[in-house]
Amino acid sequence: MLTTVCSEEVSDALAEGFPIVALESTIFSHLGLPSPFNREALERCTMAVRTNGAIPAVTAVLDGEVRLGLMGDEYERILGPARKAAERDVAVAVGQRWDVGATTVSASVAIAASAGVSVFATGGIGGVHRGSESTGDISADLDAIASHPVITVSAGAKAFLDLPRTLEFLETAGAPVLGWQHDWFPAFYTRSSGLPVPHRVESAAEVARIFAARSRPASGMLLTVPIPEDAELDSAELDGVLSEALADCERAGISGAAVTPFVLGRIGAATEGRSVPANLALAENNAAVAAQVAAAIAGYPPQR
């Protein structure tokens, strides 16, 4: 059974029914954005949550404790070296008393659910990998999104994944996929993957109503938010980089969790660093939308 330790601020917010947005810690660690951009991402995401009327609650495993909400120098700890912890790894991190476990999407969704937090914001989710019919490589993010009563707010999924099968997996699992004021499923750095989003929504109140009307109260849903237009990267340029990077992965025998950092590294190099500002912009934007949704679910006005 997952035992989660909440910060004082998060505990008070839970007691008051005040809106809370859970945030993953992988993006803020050395496993996510390079320094000093990981710090900038942390500051921008937490501020976006507060500005839009909610309390930010960063998830992590610290000294073997599952944490929801950090305090003081604990933020500094997650900015440094850490071990990646997906949902399947959280029990190991607790049992082995990891110093710092940086939580992924699946772990963060599980931690949020364990404390009764209904909204989680991230950059992009994992999904079904290309060639999964032979490798079986499907991100644990998808099962977590479908299996926990949490709204995951993201800029869709990364373009090097098999996006049609990712959407099909979520449909089969019974997880609604919504598009925030947009008709197309976003592909992280680009606003559209060319795949229509199943359902478009226009407001946080609409998302809250849909969440309340779920036929399976223990299930979750995905709210996709396209990257801001002024931060979007060129899709044609990305397509060429992705094709070459995936071919190099296959030749080098790179698979599983190692594919994502390899491909993102190649994108960063090919775009001469332009992918970093794009990543920061979409993460901040997702956090802002997530806070609006959390406020609507809690029945609070959009500004505190």
Please give, one letter per residue, the 3-state secondary structure of 61-118: EECCEEEECCCCCHHHHHHCCCEEECHHHHHHHHHCCCCEEEECHHHHHHHHHHHCCC
Q: Any bridge partners for residue 43, and if so which?
A: none
Q: How far apart are CA 68 and CA 304, in angstroms?
A: 21
84 catalytic, yes or no? no
CA atoms within 13 A on the CB side of 122: 30
Q: How far apart are CA 280 and CA 261, in angstroms?
A: 16
Residues 6+ apart with CB under 8 A from 99: 62, 63, 77
Choose the catalytic residue: 8, 16, 24, 168.
24
158 catalytic, yes or no? yes
Choose the catalytic residue: 9, 76, 84, 158.
158
Tokens found for residue 263: 């491909």
Cβ 128 vs Cβ 162: under 8 Å: yes
**Catalytic residue list:** 24, 158
